[in-house]
Homo-oligomer: A and B are copies of this chain.
């Protein structure tokens, strides 16, 4: 069993889903990995991970719109408002999605389904530098 690790940095420009599949795929290729498990971990509480449809870009727009509706800004009951009106909604949206993911690797690549893509979901209005820890365990 072998073990690799690195940290990916994703520069965001405000609320949206940012594709990170290629970033992860090329790292796995560089490591000459054959099979095992890939672990992703986001070191933030206002950004998260989502695996969703990568073919039609409107699928992503609807996921973003859903979040604006289920966890909108400026609710009178928010108490955590020090850092702005997007602060509490961003923690709620992160809670509803994923901080960690584990994805199988087979035959040298991520075993994503045909239409699956991996996204970093930025929940803050402004852009940020987001850190995604990438770990791998398996057979080279």
A residues near B (Cβ < 8 Å) are 1, 3, 5, 35-37, 39, 41-45, 50-53, 56, 58-59, 61-63, 65-66, 69-71, 77-80, 82, 87-88, 91-92, 94-104, 106, 111-116, 131, 133, 135, 137-139
Instruction: Determine chain A's interface SS by DSSP, over half rule.
Output: mixed
Asked if A80 and B52 sit within 8 Å, CB to CB, the answer is no
Chain copies in the assembly?
3
* A37 CB contact (under 8 Å) in B53, B63, B135, B138: B135
Please name the residue on chain B nearest to A97 by beta carbon.
Answer: B95
Chain B residues within an 8 Å CB radius of A58: 79-80, 82
Please name the residue on chain B nearest to A121 by beta carbon.
Answer: B95
Asked if B113 and A44 sit within 8 Å, CB to CB, the answer is yes
Asked if B41 and A102 sit within 8 Å, CB to CB, the answer is yes
Please name the residue on chain B nearest to A70 by beta carbon.
Answer: B70
